Structure 1
Amino acid sequence: MSLWTSLEPASATVEPGSSTQVRLRVRNTGDVVDEYRFEPIGDPAPWTVIEPAVLRLYPGTTGTVELTFSPPRTPDATAGPNPYAVRISPTEHPDAVTVPEGNLTILPFTEMRAELVPVTVTGRLRGRPRLAVDNLGNTELTTSMTGEDTGDRLSYELRPGNTQINPGRAHFIDLTLRPKRIIWFGSKEQHPYKVNLQRAGVPPQTIDGTYIQRGFLPRWLATCLGILLALAITFAMLWFGHQPHVTTRAEEQMEQAGSPLAPSPSPQPPLPPTPSTPAESPAAQPQPSQSPQDNGGGGEKKPEESKPPVETAATALHRKVREDPDAPHICYRLRYEGGQWSKPACENTLGAYDRTGPPITGMNIAASSVDGVSAQAHVTDASGTPKWLPWTPVRDNQDIYIGADGDYPPFMIGLNISVGKFQICHVAHFHLTNSLGELVCDKARPETLFIGTNDNRKAIDGMFLYIKYV
């Protein structure tokens, strides 16, 4: 061994979103001038910078390099001890590789995001929104949920009432709202309410929503019933209150019959002639008919040209279901920069993966026999920090669209997706690094599958999805 190394300190602590430095001292104990190359190894390697990356030392001399650790404030920076190492490769002796090891402790942080889907629900006897809770921290999150409103007009049922969420994951909580008073007739009423998410040691986080309660019977029906009742009462009063006046003119008629000068009655007008039967009527003259293609000038009218229907993910999914109705399926399209859509792809095997190249700005997804699918896009932002767009849920066999609008919107760097049954699996391809991600699968709801990265520069240019059900 012609190299001596020392990490100072061997163990370091850093908070996500900040940085810390460790010094690596290197001494050439050999008898020739040598050049050493340094490479970080371990989980902290993606956010480790070594300066200088190459060091040239004469025999018996000592050099120093600085290791800077900058873990991001994301779930990728796992809280707790994170072992790391530095591979030192000599140029003159390539087989004599040295790997000094150290330990980096990342401090925990908690960050939670929650939203109601949808924010406003409408119903007569109940409303059923869903609460999506994302753990954006690097440690397990435990929270409990309660509901409240002004005036205590609603009752709340949350399933489950408390949950534990792993870093980088999201859970869905089913919320059922029931009004304590039924509106039989009349217009709708708005009931603002709040869902409180309580965590240990921090103030509760409040999510606002609105429940619109409609009348059990529409107002127009109550108006019609009132009018009918008033007409019935009026008719009954007129019927029972009317007394007919009866008189006789028999004496007057007898006097007229006994008078010799009484005028004779006038003759009755002749009855109209009886219409002849159809057999006696002259045949109807045929009217000149005009062909639908006549167009008034004798020429044929050409049919209007129609554009072929757009083939969406649901269109391709319906064909797949007809071919194999017993298995779940998922189909999807990719929207590229400029607004152009790819052809739908339906995947149930890894061999069908294909990549076209340009970064994508949105997706169109449809799935069958999975009890509904929900997704949200993770897109680039001019500030340098990517942002999440809202969740979009749909039922089986329907199209779901995620991403930003427009021909040149922000690019997608990832997405969250969940299904109600089976497992959802993916492989992603990244445009900047021209690299293919690993095949990752996740269980059905309340679990969600995160696809992509949290790096604002690494847009996705290829995607492969399939349902794992055996």
Structure 2
Amino acid sequence: MRQRAGVRHSVVAVSLWTSLEPASTTVDPGGSATVRLRLRNTGDVVDEYRFVPVGALSPWTTVEPQTLRLYPGTTGTVELTFAPPRTPDAAAGPHAYGVQIIPTEHPEATTVPEGNVTVTPFSEVRAELVPQTVKGRFRGRPKLAVDNFGNVKLTASISGSDNGDQLSYDIHPANVQIEPGRAAFIKTTLKPRQTIWAGAKESRPFTLAVQRSGAEPLPVQGTYEQPGMMPRWLGVLFSVLVALTIAFVMIWISYKPPVNTRAQDRTEEAAASSVPTPEPSAPKPPAASKPADEPTQQPGGDGDGNGAGGDKPKPKPVDPFAGVLLRNGTTQKCVAPVEEQGKVDGETAQYPCDGAQDRQLWNLETVFEGKGPGNTDLVQIRNTMDGYCMDLPDQGAAAIRTGVKEAACTRKMDDNQLWWVEKRPNTNGLHWIHNYASNQLCLNVAGYADKGEDRADGTRITIFGCQDDGDLEWFLVKPDSQQ
């Protein structure tokens, strides 16, 4: 009889019992919570197990120990510790998690026990006026930057107040909803209820309050300076002119010059002068003859007898915005690429000014003449060493504190590589450098100046709301003429 050939299959049975204690837990951002994972080897072979956390909380989950070796019929325990940071990344609410258990002997027999962790909500709001002091005879327009550093959506209303109800407030938008980790800009128009026609300027402190439901208002202090319509010196000058006019009229009225007649004396003098008196005539000197061999200077000559033109070619004017150092008015340090040779998407930072380093030299090249605010020129800021231009991520408006990087120069209006320069009055040469696409925000050194966070070498260059204090004012100087 013919015997039929068969195929033999080898099947390995791996048995494992697991338990999470507790299966659900709660953790506060910035704190930690621990869950125990118990497991028993119910198989008949010795095996070693490796543990890998999975799920949304896996970046903040640690397993101790990371491996466990069990004999058949024995039980072991590992601890899972959840420690989400107190940042907007740790979103509030329930999060499912899992622990992948991988047997070393049979890695294909993986099991994943699952549990649930609830991250508690927290709120953290910061607000800042840009600028803190505004000036205007009829109105001031500060902006309020509100940052949501909590892990839940922020819903708030904005209101304004001052002592004596001297100002009116037009706030847009008056109500905001801000996602975790995001910021919103509130435009505010302040109008004085009275006009100052003459005299010194008046400072009017005011407060913008961020009101959240169930929480104390967050006040932000500012100052509105209102100058008079007519400067004080003009009033003094007008008073002096009026006083001088009155004095001149009084002197003119009171002064009566004496009138004496000398008609006969004048007649006798005229009669005497009518008789001519002969005078001896002096011989005329002979006219001096010009030597024949005396050289004659031709028109347009240089005075040396060679007939060359006397006007020398004028030197080419020096471009004040070519090959300049961008030196911060507060830190006195200069902007340069972080990378030694520069690269696309490379960051920029501040370093001690050294005009001998080409990486610190920039050309402010005009791209669109008169297209900026107030008919200013729009420029691109190109590094003389690597040829890349200052740039912000993506296209369009960028938020405050966005880092300034380098990229290939585009010379396009729809990108955010265009800047315009505003010279600040009474500052001995300081400038604001606005980004045209980003709500006119200004070039800035990261960190708060009053806390000394902006002094270190390598501090990144960002954009921020323009103001006359802080790190937003820059000298544009040639290397050989640093102030």
| TM-score relative to the length of structure 2 | 0.60
Tell me the CA shift for residue 348 of structure 1. 9.4
The residue identity in structure 2 corresponding to 1:76 is D
The superposition leaves residues 21-72 of structure 1 with CA deviations (integer Å, 9 ceiling, x where unpaired) of: 1111111121111111111111111111110111111111111110011111
Tell me the CA shift for residue 341 of structure 1. 9.0
Question: Which ranges in structure 2 are unaligned for 5 or more consecutive residues?
Answer: 1-13, 280-289, 305-317, 325-358, 372-377, 396-401, 420-432, 448-453, 466-483
In structure 2, the residue matched to 1:127 is: 140
Contact 1:7 1:24 in 2 (8 A): yes
In structure 2, the residue matched to 1:40 is: 53
1:118 aligns with 2:125: no
Partner of residue 162 from structure 2, selected from 128, 135, 149 = 149
1:97 aligns with 2:110: yes
Note the 1:286-435 alignment, pairs <5 A.
309-310=323-324, 315=364, 318=367, 343-344=388-389, 363=405, 368-369=413-414, 394-396=435-437, 400-403=443-446, 405=454, 408-409=457-458
Partner of residue 24 from structure 2, selected from 6, 11, 14 = 11
In structure 2, the residue matched to 1:188 is: 201
Matches of 1:131 and 1:349 in 2, distance apart?
25
SS of the equivalent of 2:214 reads coil
Tell me the CA shift for residue 249 of structure 1. 3.6
Of 22-31 and 226-235, the range deviating more from structure 2:
226-235
- Counterparts in 2 of 1:111 and 1:85: CA distance versus 1, 3 Å: same
Contact 1:313 1:331 in 2 (8 A): no
- Counterparts in 2 of 1:314 and 1:128: CA distance versus 1, 3 Å: farther
- Counterparts in 2 of 1:400 and 1:348: CA distance versus 1, 3 Å: closer
The residue identity in structure 2 corresponding to 1:344 is C
Tell me the CA shift for residue 393 of structure 1. 6.7
The superposition leaves residues 325-358 of structure 1 with CA deviations (integer Å, 9 ceiling, x where unpaired) of: xxxx998999xxxxx99943669999xxxxxxxx
Tell me the CA shift for residue 189 of structure 1. 1.9
Question: Which ranges in structure 1 are unaligned for 5 or more consecutive residues?
Answer: 270-279, 290-303, 323-328, 335-339, 351-359, 375-391, 419-470
In structure 1, the residue matched to 2:72 is: 59
SS of the equivalent of 1:168 reads coil
- Counterparts in 2 of 1:75 and 1:46: CA distance versus 1, 3 Å: same
The superposition leaves residues 433-455 of structure 1 with CA deviations (integer Å, 9 ceiling, x where unpaired) of: xxxxxxxxxxxxxxxxxxxxxxx
The residue identity in structure 2 corresponding to 1:210 is T
Tell me the CA shift for residue 16 of structure 1. 1.1
In structure 2, the residue matched to 1:198 is: 211
The residue identity in structure 1 corresponding to 2:323 is P
- Counterparts in 2 of 1:372 and 1:162: CA distance versus 1, 3 Å: farther
The residue identity in structure 2 corresponding to 1:54 is T
Tell me the CA shift for residue 75 of structure 1. 0.7
Note the 1:213-228 alignment, pairs <5 A.
213-228=226-241
SS of the equivalent of 2:210 reads strand
Matches of 2:250 and 2:26 in 1, distance apart?
93
Contact 2:196 2:227 in 1 (8 A): yes
Contact 1:110 1:138 in 2 (8 A): yes
The residue identity in structure 2 corresponding to 1:107 is T
In structure 1, the residue matched to 2:33 is: 20
- Counterparts in 2 of 1:73 and 1:65: CA distance versus 1, 3 Å: same
Tell me the CA shift for residue 394 of structure 1. 4.2
Of 226-235 and 62-71, the range deviating more from structure 2:
226-235
SS of the equivalent of 2:245 reads helix
The residue identity in structure 2 corresponding to 1:149 is D
Matches of 1:267 and 1:11 in 2, distance apart?
137
Tell me the CA shift for residue 263 of structure 1. 12
Tell me the CA shift for residue 115 of structure 1. 0.5
SS of the equivalent of 1:231 reads helix
Tell me the CA shift for residue 98 of structure 1. 0.4
- Counterparts in 2 of 1:364 and 1:393: CA distance versus 1, 3 Å: farther
- Counterparts in 2 of 1:224 and 1:257: CA distance versus 1, 3 Å: closer
Matches of 1:4 and 1:31 in 2, distance apart?
13
Contact 2:19 2:38 in 1 (8 A): yes
The residue identity in structure 2 corresponding to 1:309 is G
Partner of residue 207 from structure 1, selected from 220, 225, 247 = 220
In structure 2, the residue matched to 1:29 is: 42
Tell me the CA shift for residue 79 of structure 1. 0.6
- Counterparts in 2 of 1:171 and 1:332: CA distance versus 1, 3 Å: farther
Contact 1:331 1:347 in 2 (8 A): no
Matches of 2:205 and 2:446 in 1, distance apart?
30
Contact 1:373 1:417 in 2 (8 A): no
